[in-house]
Structure 1
Amino acid sequence: MFKVLMTLLLGTLSLFASSESTGELPNLTMTWVGFATLLIFVIGYYFVAAEEKYAIDKAKPALFIGTFMFMLVAIYYSLNGLDMNLVNTQAEHLILEIAEIFFFLFVAMTYIESLLHMGVFDSLKYNLVSKGYTYRKLFWVTGFIAFFISPIADNLTTALILSTVLITIEKTRKDFLVPGAINIVVAANAGGAWSPFGDITTLMAWTAGKGVFTDFLYLFPASVLGYVVTAFLLSRFVPKVVPDFDVANEKKPKMAEGAKVVMALGVFTIFSAVMSHQVLHLPAMWGMMFGLALLKVYSYSLGKKYGKNHFNIFESMSKIENNTLMFFFGILAAVGALYFVGWLGLAAVVYDPSVLGPTWSNIGVGFLSAIVDNVPVMSAILKANPEMGVDQWMLVTMTAGIGGSLISFGSAAGVGVMGKLHGIYTFGSHMKYAWTILLGYIVSCSVWYFQYHILEISHY
């Protein structure tokens, strides 16, 4: 079993070869820099995972290893007279990949902070809690909202919005917040898996022509049933008591003037991101930045009408969780360095039927996407373009998306929620309930197999 798992891991590591190069990269795995980068990555990853134990922000070790590893590779190239143009080319491709995610996150977080400032989440909290819902009912409500918003927006933005709602409802009770946070991450990732623009990975597969729009909709049964299994198991740990809330004495919050327009601009911004990528062939973050520009213009008009203190967008920007952005930069840079050295190109043979075959390889991709970001994983799979039918392309799209839920920082949604619930939703608190997510993942894969290979219900 261990041998199979190692074969799977080493093979799927090759899928990170997503960066294009103008020249052939030398294999440096068996050199001092090869072993050094691997060791640094393992040590850094340990400190990221042990964030709670050492009381160290996950962004610090991630940023250190990401920058240091790449600099070591550059030093090795310089000392050995290798082509320094390759260093520059790889760095530029890496910066482009990081920038797309970085600015996407930046705009999404700015909108969240703006909505917080305008009282949108306080109003939503009042509407939910004033109904007399127990913590367990609130758990289910926020989960299902996340599941059905994610296909329309995207999993990251959905997770950021709903985790903000969660911390607005309750700020201290971990028996509600931790299962609730996991529930939102799982729901957002599962909901995004059955929509062509619900996740970056599904968008990539869609635009690459691996399935038409309706093909992704056939993933709904696997996505929803896997989520429901995990949510049901998690809900057993959530108390049934009603939050302390006196409706009679609690003043109903009022949203600030212009809040509804800001919400509409947020929806339009997500739409712009999808259209930028799908129609205009620009990075998704281009549409997000356009939405930010619109928000800036609107904030100017609000300032003219209600005073400059009514809504200051730069104040919203100042409250962004910068550690989340730095974490993304560090992890993606570290993964890029491992690819550059050659560790991620060890074996591209796992899709061969004589090794693991497409089904087990694609299921393994889900576990791999939990360790590192699923974007370069999916990008590399598309570049490798193994011989697979639509059923297998749908499987890898689903597993790459929902597999990230297995670890707290295995997906953009998870990292975003960790930033919002800092010190509450951590690697350790997540892993305590990881078995519920694993069971849901198994259910999703089983439903996919039953649907595509037993009932043969799909769209070809």
Structure 2
Amino acid sequence: MLTPIAVCGIPLDFILFGLTLLGVALFHRHTLAAALTGLAAVVGYKLAFTGFATFGPGLAGLVHHMRHEWVTLANLFLLLMGFALLSRHYEDSRIPDRMPALLPDDWTGGVLLLVLVFVLSAFLDNIAAALVGGTVARHVFRGRVHIGYLAAIVASANAGGAGSVVGDTTTTMMWIDGISPLTVVDAYVAAVVAMLVLAVPASLQQQRYSPIVKKALSGTRIDWTRVVIVAAILLAAMAANVTANLKFPALLDTFPVLGAAVWLAILLTSLLRRPDWSVMPEAGQGTAFLLALVTAASMMPVEKLPAASWQTALGLGFISSVFDNIPLTALALKQGGYDWGLLAYTVGFGGSMIWFGSSAGVAVSNLYPETRSVARWIVYGWPIILAYVVGFFVMLALLGWHPDAPH
């Protein structure tokens, strides 16, 4: 008979996962190795002692568990890898080289760029918005982007997606479950406040580190074909998301619709311009890291959350910075009783507090490997934590706590 092990009342599953996160934090130059080692330890323990929750013991339980999770993992893999190619298309279009001429050359230029990322994320996937912001930042700051500002780019993308059912996987899950997009849009009350709190200190930090170079590169010619390719890939993702949710919601549980749409667009547009496949190895390492953490998190014995309350919603935001927000959102939807606008903000924006807390953060770390340090992210990205708390309590004060109505 399979017997779970607990240390001081804490299931060993959580201890192993916590040690994995600690390994990622301490050995930021070997994050993939730490994540894979932790995943192997969790799988080994589940095989030997506890089994896989409702999926049963042994290899059969593991197989059934992975069948249940494969769509989520496949979507993350395809989106992260696909948007890495999209980011390079966008960079090669030479539009980022023109951006210095369009943005103010003081700290307000940094604020404006963060606002643009926020707005983009409301319509695009937050991964794509963060990568666009990171790519533009590389050019307007001439390659010297402060880690605090990179954290702000990720936070802006996550904030922008928090109130849009097409801007984040968690809000899309709520939409699929029958929650009105008008309910989710309440999250923008907190998200806008959070943006106002974090944008100025992050931009001042970047201005001191490396200001915007106002003059655009001479002789820059925009490659409009690549611009069309970028637009086509993003439109394919948006169209697939909206169409699947409105017409074929059951398909989203059985097939990675978004990722497949992105890659179909990439392959078709490769006839116009060849993608830069050289970005794949680096993007692959970051993607494998995130998939290892998400897989390990999905095996944690979290069958029930604490009773729904605004305090629980606040706490879930902090947990989202180290624990994948997709299973947390799924549990909250199953449990009910939450204010979905407030929860969309907490689980969406909360992951910004640590670099691997959201897929947008992992995507940006593929562009800037120096961000893979938990300590530096927290020290220099301190405005994000402050912004999260301020945004939450402003929304709570203005809108109150409205528990889940039948949906």
TM-score bucket (shorter structure): 0.7 to 0.9
Matched to 1:377, the amino acid is: L
What displacement does 1:152 show? 0.3
Which residue pairs with 1:218 in the alignment?
Answer: 186
Is the 2:320–2:351 contact (alpha carbons within 8 Å) kept by the matching residues of 1?
A: yes
1:351-390 pair list within 5 angstroms: 351=307, 358-383=309-334, 385-388=335-338
Matches within 5 A, 1:61-460: 61-76=34-49, 84-116=59-91, 119-120=92-93, 122-125=94-97, 127-131=98-102, 133-134=104-105, 136-170=107-141, 172-173=143-144, 176-210=145-179, 212-239=180-207, 242-244=211-213, 250-256=217-223, 258-278=225-245, 279-281=247-249, 282-283=251-252, 285-300=256-271, 302=272, 311-313=273-275, 315=277, 318=280, 321-337=283-299, 339=300, 342=301, 344-345=302-303, 348=304, 350-351=306-307, 358-383=309-334, 385-388=335-338, 392-424=339-371, 426-453=373-400
Tell me the amino acid that sits aligned with residue 261 of structure 1: V
Distance apart, 1:115 and its partner CA:
2.8
Which AA in structure 2 matches 1:66?
L
- Bigger Rg over Cα: 1
CA apart distance, 1:408: 1.7
Distance in 1 of aligned mates of 2:258 and 2:30: 31
User: Closer, same or farther in 2 for the Cα pair 1:299/1:37, shift >3 Å?
Assistant: same
The CA distance in 1 between the partners of 2:224 and 2:354, in whole Å, is 40
Letter in 2 for 1:350: P
* Unpaired segments ≥5 residues, structure 2: none
CA 1:115 to 1:319, structure 2 compared with 1: closer, same or farther past 3 Å?
Answer: farther
8 Å Cα contact 1:63-1:327 kept in structure 2: yes
Amino acid at match of 2:205: F
Query: In 2, are the aligned partners of 1:149 and 1:191 still within 8 Å (CA)?
Result: yes
Q: Which SS does the other structure have where 1:409 is aligned? A: coil
Partner Cα distance (2:88, 2:182) in 1: 35
Deviation, 1:76, is 4.1
8 Å Cα contact 1:110-1:316 kept in structure 2: no
Aligned counterparts of 1:453 and 1:312: Cα–Cα separation in 2: 51
C-alpha root-mean-square deviation of aligned residues, in Å? Answer: 3.0
Checking the alignment, whether the CA contact within 8 Å between 1:408 and 1:427 is kept in structure 2 is yes
| CA distance in 1 between partners of 2:361 and 2:148 (Å) | 13
CA distance in 2, matches of 1:36, 1:215: 38
User: Conserved in 2, the CA contact under 8 Å of 1:181 and 1:425?
Assistant: no
Give, in angstroms, the shift of residue 245 of structure 1: 6.2
Which residue identity is paired with 2:67? E
Closer/same/farther in 2, CA of residues 290 and 449 from structure 1, 3 Å limit: closer
281-290 or 372-381: which moved more?
A: 281-290
Deviation at residue 77 of structure 1 after TM alignment: 6.8
Distance in 1, Cα, partners of 2:341 & 2:190: 11
8 A Cα contact 1:113 1:320, kept in partner: no
Residue 21 of structure 1 aligns with which residue? none
Count residues in correspondence: 393
SS in 2 for 1:313: coil
Structure 1 position 150, deviation (Å): 0.4
Q: Secondary structure at the match of 2:205?
A: coil
Q: Counterpart of 2:30 in 1: which secondary structure?
A: coil
Q: Which structure has the higher relative contact order (CA within 8 Å, separation 6+)?
A: 1
- Structure 2 distance, partners of 1:27, 1:381, is 27
How far apart are the structure 2 equivalents of 1:454 and 1:134?
Answer: 42
Contact 1:155/1:189 (<8 A) preserved: yes
Q: Is the 8 A contact 2:146 2:205 kept in 1?
A: no
For 1:183 and 1:49, how far apart are their aligned partners in 2? 19
AA matched with 1:217: V
* Superposition TM-score, scaled by structure 1 size: 0.77
Structure 1 pair 221/274, CA: closer, same or farther in 2 (3 Å)? same
Q: Residue 228 of structure 1 aligns to which amino acid in structure 2?
A: L
Superposition deviation, residue 320 in structure 1: 5.2
Shift of 1:412: 1.1
CA offsets 1:362-419 (integer angstroms, 9 cap, x no match): 1111111111111111012112x2334xxx1221111110111121211111111122
**In terms of mean alpha carbon deviation, does 255-264 or 182-191 score higher?**
255-264
Q: Could you tell me whether the CA contact under 8 Å between 1:273 and 1:285 is conserved in 2?
A: no
- Farther off after superposition, 430-439 or 277-286: 277-286
State the shift of 1:236 in Å: 3.4
Q: Percentage identity across aligned positions?
A: 20
Structure 2 length-normalised TM: 0.86
1:149–1:172 distance in 2 versus 1, CA, 3 Å: closer
Alpha-carbon contact 1:193-1:402 (below 8 Å) kept: yes
